[in-house]
Amino acid sequence: MFGDGSTPTAPSPSLPRPPPHVELIWSPAMDPARPECPFQYLIETLNDNPEKKFYNIAKLGGTKYDILPYSIRVLLETAVRNCDGFLVKKEDAMNILDWKTKQNNVEVPFYPARVLLQDFTGIPAMVDFAAMREAVKNLGGDPMKVHPACPTDLTVDHSLQIDFSKCAIQNAPNPGGGDLQRPLAKISPHKAQPRKVPCRGQTGCKGPCDAGESSRNSGKFSAQIENTPILCPFHLQPVPEPETVLKNQEVEFGRNRERLQFFKWGSKVFRNVAVIPPGTGMAHQMNLEYLSRVVFEVKDFLYPDSVVGTDSHTTMVNGLGILGWGVGGIETEAVMLGMPVTLTLPEVVGCELTGLASPLATSIDVVLSITKQLRQAGVAGKFVEYFGTGVSQLSVADRTTIANMCPEYGAILSFFPVDNVTLKHLKHTGFDKAKLESMEAYLKAVKLFRNDQISSEEPEYTQIIQIDLSSITPYVSGPKRPQDRVAITNMKSDFQACLNEKIGFKGFQIATEKQNDIVPVEYEGNEYRLSHGSVVIAAVISCTNNCNPSVMLAAGLLARKAVEAGLMVKPYIRTSLSPGSGMVTHYLSSSGVLPYLSKLGFEVVGYGCSTCVGNTAPLPEAIRNAIKQGDLVACGVLSGNKNFEGRLCDCVRANYLASPPLVVAYAIAGTVNIDFQTEPLGIDPNGKNIYLHDVWPTREELQQVEEEYVISSMFKELKEKMEKGNKRWNFLEAPESVLFPWDLKSTYIRCPPFFDKLAKEPVSLQPIENAHVLLYLGDSVTTDHISPAGSIARNSAAAKYLTNKGLTPREFNSYGARRGNDAVMTRGTFANIKLLNKFIGKPAPKTVHLPSGQTLDVFEAAELYQKEGIPLIILAGKKYGLGSSRDWTAKGPFLLGVKAVIAESYEKIHKGHLIGIGIAPLQFLPGENANVLGLTGKEQFSVSFPQELFPGITLDIKTNTGKVFSVIASFENDVETTIYKHGGILNFVARRFL
């Protein structure tokens, strides 16, 4: 299960993984060394074919099985197939079968079929694997045994930064308003413009060309072009890639060479690791379009596809009927080493969808509505499963968009069982016909196929929530949290209310007399007027929402109508379009809408996470100065899933999540302080008001374009592109040694200190004595507050470290790119400018070193405490660790010297991270908190742990002032207490090799 020590073979440098119908996958159930499975009597052959066997779990429990939710049936199948009497016991499977009575009462194991990593969270895992090899070797073990035990896909999709946005084509002769199906000379507003002009900056275009004939045939273009087929927006001739993409990719490879070489080394020396190189697409998009199997076929066995990933939005794949969710990076590493994920057998909320959404409501509107209703219903820590007549009305793209937002309403996963719509989609995207037939037969045999015609077969659920899709109207979400939904019709009044409200989750507390302030600003020779609500960032980004062709095409069609009406976007607005994959660019280009998006400034900048993770290019200095001068609440609008304050840019206070067409609409309007029903987007050249309804595409238009251009050949071409890789990646050199040759001068990759004190046996639990409080925090502290993300501020502790290493600010890159260097990441922990530490009294990445009274950067204070040998704790309020799962939210505090966190409540994923790294999650008793107990945070705290530590045990904490109070050790099961006793998952797993 943990490797046999054989020499790994290096994979092809250009082929990340065979296509989904070619299986070279390991499964725990196929391990010949494991004890005999007690459920072997359930093994059957599919259609009497001895080469297709499966565990027929439908025969295990009769009516008990028939009432199980589909997601629980998948859990049951993994337990049955992987039952070995040790990590998975027979009683675990029987507990899952008795889900109706055992939910919330028992812990059960889950063996995912595979693991998905993206590079920001994947590189720490790979660095830890490399460090574990060193540790095992140092303690006399065989480092060759350290391999991922299950297939692991790592997609390099987060290193992209928008160094170049508005390409040279922005300044080229524009096609003007009007129809691109007409010759260029007839539609240009410039009377003297010739019909033949060169493409500026588009190296693939062969100079002057006749636009007339080519433009008339633009919709039928089918030439085979290297990489993504892009059309020159002025002549509609093919070019290999936009100049912007090529420039950004070149900088990306240069800036991240050390990281990429490390990834390539890992793909060579570790079995079961496939690296998908930069420039291909983002993890979730690749997961859907390329990596997903739906049903695995391994060594004559069929079983359901399932996955865990190091990103909370791994749930996106639930829309394909694949069980999966995001877990911590530390937990993921354990899965990669052959251990199951352990979870409390969850409640399953049935979400019944009925009706059909209105023509103006996009899938983004649907997901924001469902997000709000499910969050209000309280589905945190539960499975959500969709059923009802409305489910069949949703395409797979709609379903994956809804499933993507699952973390925002707090559920573990958001599951759409496989049905006829799923099969139609898989056929559409090029799945092998024979595989589809065996897939359908298998799923029906084990009753994992949802029949939308027989409502009597619906499972039983813990509770049912009904949502009428026809009641949903267009919404945005913001200005600071994804769950704060605002109807488009109420946007102007809501924004004005936010200006009035006290500073908080929605308020900005702008004085009444200042709310109508106007700040004139000169930019590129023209004068503009900024005010509260002015849009300065508008991004259709590489977020998982953009996988839906209908919403992306809607943005393109809206752009076309707007350009034809003579509308434009103000040049100071940071606009960008970074699709989730080349397939999106393909259909935007083939459908003819890409030039119009580009004309409005939404030009393809590359493929990977950008604006959503804070990788936005800096705003123009004049704009930044104007915002600061007027203390303006400037706005960003993005089609993403995270909009916490300060995430996009430190001077942009209000951020709204919106569908791609609405992002384009708000960019044209230039403000969010607008009522689309009564106020125009702009004025055409003839002085006529143009309203949103004038340019909004109809559902019929969308369906026609989608059916014509989003075709299966696009998926095939994407797969070909993935298998060929790209020249930069294919020719990248990387070492092939068993142990990674660490470069002590590297500022990107460093051997972490997690194994420095590793012994063969765990030491007894040590008390925490006379600990000082590093930070005294309030409610809803997010992982954005804790974990380093985005750009590295020039005055930060991380910047000082990099400067001392000889780097200039332009070479700092981002925290995400440097996640493989613990020295940078530790210095960036709690470095968020919006961190509100009660010791300081205002947002700042600072704290007080209590013995001396100095106000210092958090890292500097922690460094002083460590030199003084003083342990640290953190005091916090409710929902500590809210937000995306990030392993550095635990690793960083651990390396700062934090031994425990005392909070009122925790986000489940983050609490698991704390335990996984060796930090004790302690919880105030119900009704108590630091304020109620009269704590100032300036006390010193001591706590002892009994050697017989068990879940939920109550511990006494003593302070140096004589106060004593009780807390709950927030361990949920024996596995968590065992891991804590070992000092974390990494130590626990490393000892298994010894």
> Which DSSP string do the residues of 814-846 spell out, in sequence order?
BTGGGTT-HHHHHHHTT--TT-BBTTTSSB-SE
Q: Which residues contact 708 (CB under 8 A, 6 or more apart)?
A: 219, 591
Cβ atoms < 10 Å from Cβ of 659: 30
Residue 317 has pLDDT above 90, yes or no: yes
Q: What is the mean pLDDT of the chain?
A: 82
Residue that wins the pLDDT comparison between 762 and 351? 351
Distance from C-alpha of 82 to C-alpha of 110, rounded to nearest angstrom: 9
Residues 624 and 537 sit within 8 Å (Cβ to Cβ): no
Residue 797 has pLDDT above 60, yes or no: yes
When mean pLDDT is compared across 36-40, 219-223, 620-624, the lowest value belongs to: 219-223
Output DSSP code: residue 144. Answer: G
When mean pLDDT is compared across 318-322, 592-596, 645-649, 888-892, the lowest value belongs to: 645-649
Output 484-490 pairs: Cβ under 8 A, ≥24 positions apart. 485/368, 485/369, 485/371, 485/372, 486/656, 488/662, 488/676, 489/675, 489/676, 489/677
Residue 170 has pLDDT above 60, yes or no: no
Place of tokens 């949903």: 472
Residue 985 has pLDDT above 90, yes or no: no
When mean pLDDT is compared across 204-218, 419-433, 618-632, the lowest value belongs to: 204-218
What is the chain's percent helix, strand, coil content, to nearest 5? 35, 20, 45
Distance from C-alpha of 836 to C-alpha of 831, rounded to nearest angstrom: 11
Beta bridge partners of residue 45, listed in sequence order: 53
Q: Which residues contact 966 (CB under 8 A, 6 or more apart)?
A: 925, 954, 955, 956, 957
Distance from C-alpha of 821 to C-alpha of 964, rounded to nearest angstrom: 40
Residues 24 and 16 sit within 8 Å (Cβ to Cβ): no
Kind and range of the H or E element at 922?
strand 920-924
Backbone angles phi, psi at 298, to 5 degrees: -135, 120
Distance from C-alpha of 760 to C-alpha of 869, rounded to nearest angstrom: 25
Hey, which of 170-174, 236-240, 681-685, 709-713 has the most confident mean pLDDT? 681-685
Distance from C-alpha of 141 to C-alpha of 133, rounded to nearest angstrom: 9
414 to 362, 847, 938, 957: CA distances (angstroms): 19, 39, 43, 39
Confidence of residue 931 (pLDDT cuts 50, 70, 90): very high
Confidence of residue 762 (pLDDT cuts 50, 70, 90): confident
Hey, which of 4-13, 195-204, 364-373, 786-795 has the most confident mean pLDDT? 786-795
Average pLDDT over residues 441-451: 95
Confidence of residue 287 (pLDDT cuts 50, 70, 90): confident
Distance from C-alpha of 540 to C-alpha of 603, rounded to nearest angstrom: 10
Residues 581 and 289 sit within 8 Å (Cβ to Cβ): yes
852 to 495, 849, 855, 868, 957: CA distances (angstroms): 44, 6, 9, 12, 24
* Angle at CA of residue 326, ends 324 and 330, nearest 5°: 125
Report the number of secondary-structure helices (H) and strands (E) in the chain: 34, 36
Tell me whether strands 920-924 and 898-903 are parallel, antiparallel or unpaired: parallel
Q: Which of 114, 41, 38 lies closest to 83, judged by CA?
A: 38
547 to 396, 463, 553: CA distances (angstroms): 10, 30, 11
What strand order describes the sheet that includes 323-326? 273-276, 152-155, 114-118, 306-309, 323-326
* Angle at CA of residue 474, ends 468 and 478, nearest 5°: 110
Cβ atoms < 10 Å from Cβ of 908: 17
Residue type, 334: A
**Coil vs helix vs strand at 689:** strand
* pLDDT value for 722: 67
989 to 337, 445, 985: CA distances (angstroms): 8, 37, 6
Q: Which of 250, 248, 242, 279 lies closest to 168, judged by CA?
A: 242
Tell me whether strands 635-638 and 574-577 are parallel, antiparallel or unpaired: unpaired
User: What is the pTM assigned to this prediction?
Assistant: 0.68
Backbone angles phi, psi at 34, to 5 degrees: -80, 155
Confidence of residue 368 (pLDDT cuts 50, 70, 90): confident
Backbone angles phi, psi at 637, to 5 degrees: -130, 125
Kind and range of the H or E element at 443?
helix 433-445
Confidence of residue 233 (pLDDT cuts 50, 70, 90): very low
Distance from C-alpha of 353 to C-alpha of 4, rounded to nearest angstrom: 49
Q: Where are the alpha helices (DSSP H) in 788-887?
A: 797-804, 822-828, 858-867
Place of tokens 């999709």: 157
Tokens of 313: 């939005």
What strand order describes the sheet that includes 635-638? 485-487, 475-477, 654-657, 635-638, 535-540, 574-577
Residues 70 and 78 sit within 8 Å (Cβ to Cβ): no
Side-chain half-sphere CA neighbours of 743 within 13 A:
11
Residues 696 and 473 sit within 8 Å (Cβ to Cβ): no
Average pLDDT over residues 601-630: 76
Cβ atoms < 10 Å from Cβ of 78: 29
Residue type, 595: P
Distance from C-alpha of 457 to C-alpha of 451, rounded to nearest angstrom: 8
Residue type, 490: N
Question: What does R_g of the chain's alpha carbons equal in angstroms?
Answer: 28
Distance from C-alpha of 153 to C-alpha of 280, rounded to nearest angstrom: 13
End-to-end CA distance of the chain: 14
Distance from C-alpha of 284 to C-alpha of 585, rounded to nearest angstrom: 16
Distance from C-alpha of 192 to C-alpha of 231, rounded to nearest angstrom: 24
Q: What percent of the chain has pLDDT over 70?
A: 82
Residues 662 and 488 sit within 8 Å (Cβ to Cβ): yes
Q: Which of 882, 883, 876 lies closest to 900, judged by CA?
A: 876
Residue that wins the pLDDT comparison between 231 and 690? 690
Confidence of residue 147 (pLDDT cuts 50, 70, 90): confident
Output DSSP code: residue 392. Answer: G
Residue type, 799: A
Side-chain half-sphere CA neighbours of 901 within 13 A:
33
